[in-house]
Structure 1
Amino acid sequence: MDSLNPDHPPLIETAATPRVWKFWGTALWGLFIFVAMFVGQIGAVIALAALRGLPIDLASLQLVGREPQTLALSVIMGLPATLLAVWLAIRIKKASFVDYLALHWPSWKQLLFGAVGLILIVLLWETMSRALGREATPGFMTDLLKSGRDKGAALLLLAAFAVAAPMSEEVLARGFLYRGWSASFLRSSGAILLSSLVWTVVHLQYDMYFLAEVFTIGLWFGYMRYRAGSLWLTIALHALNNLTAVVLTMWLGG
């Protein structure tokens, strides 16, 4: 028999290489994805400045970047850059893009449960803001959205903040980061905590009070990602949160 022949040793099956980036791989690829998102966003500003014949310098970019239309396009262009970077990271692992990111549809019960929890969290922070005499929405965001409405950029801003931003941020935080870190020594609880912290850092334009609110909402999104095993669920919840904030600020003065 070949198995007893030293010239023909038996085949030894080796364990398949895990198709998930673990802690450090996820962290480094996460940084790359974040940079790709930034490049996509700043690239839109540079392109608009160039189309206007402006010099490509800091002053010109700041001038163009303050306009509501430019900011909306910048956020929108961050989405394809993010998806491309995530696709590359997953492709190298030869894994399924859909399965890696848990792009599975949630049930209506899961969606309802997630929405109710989100509403309660937002209402709690709203109540605290009123008690402390604080605005429920950062002042600069209120000015941006109302300016965009007055300048005819309402739909563009709506697409940016209620569609593009939730997809980009969720694919990074509750998609790629959570997937890899939950398979590492962090497990699900640590992955929820750390991915929420990273998501909060992405919003450093806010003050500490609003960052605390963002972190709290991130924990809820992370929990729902764990509970339902669906990234579409957290994208939907994120979109619902942003859509409500944009509509209330633009048209109802909230």
Structure 2
Amino acid sequence: MAMYLLLGAFGLALAFLLAGGMMRRSGVSGVLELPPPVDAGSKVRTWWVQSLDVAGLIVMSLIFMGFGVSALALGGEDQADLSAGALVLNAAMFAIFVGAVWAIVRWRVRPTDWLGLRWSAWVHLLWFGPTIVLGMWLVMGLLQVAGYMAFMEEWLGTPSMQESVELLKESKDSTVVALMALSAAVVAPLAEEIIFRGYLYPVAKKWSGKVCAVVFSALWFSACHGNVPLILPLFLLGVILALAYEKTGSIWAPIGIHFFFNSATVLIQLAIRAGWISDQVAS
């Protein structure tokens, strides 16, 4: 059942993308005519998106879909036995994907303009980043109190704990713990935001419009983690990350929010390992 729901989430995301594309083109009479522009009033520009990027979106989406499906299929394996080499390989794969996206885009637009790297208001991350993390914790707490997490775990027979969190809790190898902490707090926010918000989102936006692109990128992002009970809260996080990118026009905004969210989880698990807080309090 869990696998069917995961594939259903991917299918729903694709449906939003296709529906948005068809709606934007419903008023276009000629084959060579372009649909209405989507950049008006937006800080995330799509003028650089070309036909080549449709293929890029398909390839990257399928790769991360594979990650999600394999993560769910292998969910029963003991994550505490994951080796340092596997984590290094995972980080190297992310670097390759980011490099591929960078190579595809940079010859058309400067990275500073593409990703809004020169963001003068970055200091605001210091307050709205932690605020969003607290808001997400409140949402997840409400889902826990409402019995949503327990229901999903019992119904699907899969845990709601992410593999990275399980590894941070259970691994006896300090090197693995350090690499996992670095991967979760630094590698994942940088790589996932450049790929999902920096590339897939504007390509989807050019095709289907802002609303459908937000839903597509957020739902694909949540499903790619391969944890069905967490699809709902991760979808909400994905929406927030996309809207933060739209609001600021800088990739540093979603990267920062993602960094604060993951780092808070890492710090809590490290505190549990050190005995500073109990596992019952954290859960």
Q: Same fold (TM over 0.5)?
A: yes
Distance 1:198 1:139 in 2: 17
Give the structure 2 partner of residue 85 of structure 1: 100
- Cα deviation digits, residues 4-60 of structure 1 (max 9, x gap): xxxxxxxxxxxxxx85225x6434213434577899x9xxxxxxxxxxxxxxxxxxx
- Preserved contact between residue 214 and residue 239 of structure 2 (Cα < 8 Å): yes
How many Å apart are 1:66 and its aligned residue? 4.7
User: Which one has a bigger Cα radius of gyration?
Assistant: 1
Deviations 1:115-170, CA, capped at 9 Å, x for gaps: 3134212222123214417499516444311233x311222111111111111111
Tell me the distance in 1 between the aligned counterparts of 2:248 and 2:232.
24
Partner of 2:111: 97
Is 1:158 aligned to 2:181, yes or no?
A: yes
Check whether the contact 1:38–1:78 (CA below 8 A) recurs between aligned residues.
Answer: no
**Residue in 2 aligned with 1:245?**
265
Change in Cα spacing, 1:70 to 1:129, as seen in structure 2 (3 Å) is: farther
Match of 1:76, as an amino acid?
A
Which of residues 215, 220, 226 is equivalent to 1:198? 220
Percent pairwise identity: 20
Q: Report the residue type matching 2:57 in the other structure.
A: G
Structure 2: runs of 5+ lacking an equivalent:
1-45, 68-76, 154-158, 273-278
Superposition deviation, residue 187 in structure 1: 2.8
Counterpart CA distance in 2 for 1:144 and 1:68 is: 10
Structure 1 equivalent of residue 232 of structure 2: 212
Query: How has the CA–CA distance of structure 1 residues 119 and 25 changed in structure 2, closer, same or farther, with 3 Å as cutoff?
Result: farther
Residue number in structure 2 paired with 1:120: 135
2:246 corresponding residue in structure 1: 226
Distance 1:226 1:64 in 2: 36
Among 36, 43, 57, the alignment partner of 1:30 is 57
Counterpart check, 1:177 vs 2:217: no
Structure 1 residues 173, 102: CA separation in 2 closer, same or farther (over 3 Å shift)?
Answer: same
Q: Superposition RMSD on alpha carbons, in Å? A: 3.2
Tell which deviates more after alignment, 238-247 or 27-36: 27-36
In structure 2, give the amino acid aligned to 1:217.
Answer: L
Aligned residues: 210
1:236 pairs with one of 253, 256, 271 = 256
TM-score normalised by the chain length of structure 1: 0.70
C-alpha distance in 1 between matches for 2:54 and 2:220? 10
Native 8 Å contact 1:79 1:167 kept in 2: no
Distance between the aligned counterparts of 1:70 and 1:160, measured in 2? 13
Match of 2:49 among 4, 14, 21: 21
Q: Indicate conservation of the 8 Å contact 1:68/1:145, yes or no.
A: no
Q: Which whole-Å CA distance do the structure 2 matches of 1:128 and 1:64 have between them?
A: 25
Distance, in Å, in 2 between the alignment partners of 1:36 and 1:71 is 18
Question: Cα distance, 1:229 vs. partner?
Answer: 0.9
Residue type of the partner of 1:232?
W
What is the letter of the counterpart of residue 189 of structure 1? Answer: V
Unaligned residue ranges in structure 1 (runs of 5+): 1-17, 42-61
- The normalised TM-score by structure 2 is 0.63
Higher relative contact order (CA 8 A, sep 6+): 2
- C-alpha separation in 2, matches of 1:179 and 1:140: 29
